[in-house]
Structure 1
């Protein structure tokens, strides 16, 4: 399997709308220009800094001036830390500069948008980066070797292939590489404080199991630990579905389910994710209707806004997802 096909396969279950999939396969949009401006960030850490990755320790000798961010959510995290990448991937097809609608950071000059599925290494090299971020991605060694030949590349951490880098580890690695570890710690603290606040306000959730269940046009799938969606639900106190945990293979963040065994995802609370489908196509499906959680009114169906926010998994998107999700979970657990 080529590295491009690996990226397509691994990312398919992470995409949330047909628009997003179309945007991910686009390239060289007319309204997106290459940025040659340096970051305005003044790093607070002393260089050189080192980051441990799957492929060994990566040393960043000087404060990066031209960063290319390729991993899922890497670019948005960089901007939250005050660094504006010159190249970025718009994984969820937000358009424009690729940032989510709820991101507080912005660009002075839009980055070059890079195709997510078939990386153009010549295009990346033409941006003359001094650092490449590929922290939440497939962990493909061939891709890493090609990128590291262009510039120092911070890839996935050990045992985090297939987009399973946790959101807080992602922030830690990126902030370290950019010399902004203190800002990174602040972002993680803010999100964790909000999660703890919600969890403490709902102690009854710790006695309930919760599953995030997705439906595409071809299959059902339940998300597992290591995915931002499942991790957030468990962070709020819900216990993982043991059957789904047991079925999850090492290095994967979801379990494919057939219509016949989709009820393995049944839990005290089920959060439904329609992927490249409408919400009605999920809620009208006979498989969805037969779940006990659905029959008893203990299910939540994510709309596009919530699906994108919880899927992106950056600090800003996590906070936005909490604002949307918590009231729905409260209704579902009454």
Structure 2
């Protein structure tokens, strides 16, 4: 299994990373109240005065208890960082952006991001008052995390955490990860789980509502999106890895906009190396022309040029007006949409969506 991050298809230590199911049961038990935590977070967010502590979370790695409202927060995943920051938490350590590690643009090679500005490393839709200590999310340095003296470690979207790392981090502070598997929870459930952990269930509910409004406003403005088809893929030289699984986190988000994976591509008998995808051979690239929209991401600018300069690709009708090459941060946000990123993500996709949505 590859360990290099790919914005479209995150290669992680679990083979089920992209097989996302929407029926998450967030596995929390709040203090003395006996409430069910983030699984019933909508009720908590709409009516509770404050979260009850201690609150206990279950995960594939074990059980952890947050005894009191955390003050210092380490976020190990981008969604953890986004939601915690928007909830007003003091995020003292966070992952730098993928583009600050691997270069900007649609896939340009780059350094480790240490020469960039704070805004280079900050998620483009976040604007906190203070800058956290940054770390490279490709690996987790337990000693560096411990050095920040956190009260809680959020890892609901940490794609490099494993049992050994979880055990070591648990000796530092309570570690709140995903309930069942990476990317299996909906953005709403993930936000409510984080809100429960930070003692801000009502604010988390407000973030969920804001994301819902952004989607509703877009679909109202672009009713023609309903049942339009798309291909979202990453070029890999001889093939395209295309998202097709309706339970995939990316596909679930696209479905909220009314879009469906192009059936001609989704139906091919070529299961991808990454769960939830198919490997579409460049020999069969004509199938992409069945889609109303084509979104592509690339590991390098050379890959993008190779794809766009291909004679067979140039012949595709979809390339004339309905093709969009996503930059790395948009691709990263689309990989695992969170309730904070959704309004921003919609605006990044909007120029393409408007081509078929009116």
TM-score by shorter chain over 0.5: yes
Is 1:244 aligned with 2:266?
Answer: yes
Once the two structures are TM-superposed, the CA of residue 100 in structure 1 deviates from its matched residue by 1.9
Q: TM-score, normalised by structure 1?
A: 0.74
Counterpart CA distance in 1 for 2:142 and 2:267 is 37
Structure 2: distance between partners of 1:101 and 1:144: 28
Provide, for residues 165-186 of structure 1, a one-character-per-residue CA deviation record: whole Å limited to 9, x for no partner. 5432321221111111111111
* Cα distance, 1:15 vs structure 2: 8.2
Q: How many residue pairs get matched?
A: 297
What corresponds to 1:170 in structure 2? 190
Matches for 1:189-268 after TM superposition, within 5 Å: 189-216=209-236, 220-223=240-243, 224-225=245-246, 229-242=250-263, 243-244=265-266, 252-262=275-285, 266-268=290-292
How many Å apart are 1:256 and its aligned residue? 4.2
Deviation of 1:64 (Å): 0.9
1:31 corresponds in structure 2 to: none
**Correspondence 1:49 to 2:55:** yes
The alpha carbon displacement at 1:117 in A equals 1.7
- Which residues of 2 match residues 99-114 of structure 1 at below 5 A? 99-104=122-127, 106-108=128-130, 110-114=131-135
User: SS of the counterpart of 2:123?
Assistant: coil
Question: Within the alignment, does 1:313 sit opposite 2:319 as a pair?
Answer: no
SS at match of 1:271: strand
2:78 is aligned with 1:72: yes
Against the structure 1 CA distance between its residues 142 and 289, is the aligned structure 2 distance closer, same or farther, given a 3 Å change threshold?
farther
Unaligned runs of 5+ in 1: 17-42
- Indicate whether 1:58 and 2:52 are aligned: no
Q: Which moved more, 1:323-332 or 1:210-219?
A: 210-219
Question: Any residues of structure 2 matched to 1:265-284 within 5 Å, and which?
Answer: 266-277=290-301, 280-284=305-309
Query: How many Å apart are 1:126 and its aligned residue?
Result: 2.1
Match of 2:324 among 296, 300, 316: 300
Mapping 1:117-156, distance limit 5 Å: 117-138=138-159, 140-156=162-178
Q: 2 CA distance for matches of 1:275 and 1:165?
A: 27
| Alpha-carbon contact 1:268-1:298 (below 8 Å) kept | yes
Deviation at 1:300, TM superposition (A): 2.9
1:311 deviates by 4.5
Distance 1:15 1:255 in 2: 11
Indicate the residue corresponding to 1:19 in structure 2.
none
2:94 aligned residue (69, 76, 88): 88
Distance 1:174 1:268 in 2: 36
Does structure 2 conserve the Cα–Cα contact (< 8 Å) formed by 1:67 and 1:86?
yes
The C-alpha deviation readout for 1:56-93, integer Å capped at 9, x for no partner, is: 54321111122111123311221111012221111424
Distance 1:48 1:302, change over 3 A: same
Residue of structure 2 equivalent to 1:36: none
How do residues 316-327 of structure 1 correspond to structure 2 at under 5 angstroms?
A: 316-327=340-351
Kindly tell me: are residues 165 and 93 of structure 1, through their superposed partners in 2, closer, same or farther at Cα, counting changes over 3 Å?
Answer: farther
For residues 92 and 257 of structure 1, the distance between their equivalents in structure 2, rounded to whole angstroms, comes to 26
Distance of aligned partners of 1:291 and 1:149 in 2 relative to their CA distance in 1, 3 Å threshold = farther
Distance 1:305 1:59, change over 3 A: closer
CA deviation vs aligned residue, 1:5-57 (integer Å, no higher than 9, x gap): 6xx34x324489xxxxxxxxxxxxxxxxxxxxxxxxxx942322233433354
Partner residue, 1:12: 6
The 1:263/1:181 distance shift into structure 2, 3 A limit, reads: farther
TM-score after normalising by structure 2: 0.70
- C-alpha separation in 2, matches of 1:63 and 1:245: 48
Task: Please give the alpha-carbon distance, in whole angstroms, between the structure 2 residues aligned to 1:191 and 1:135.
Answer: 19
RMSD: 3.3
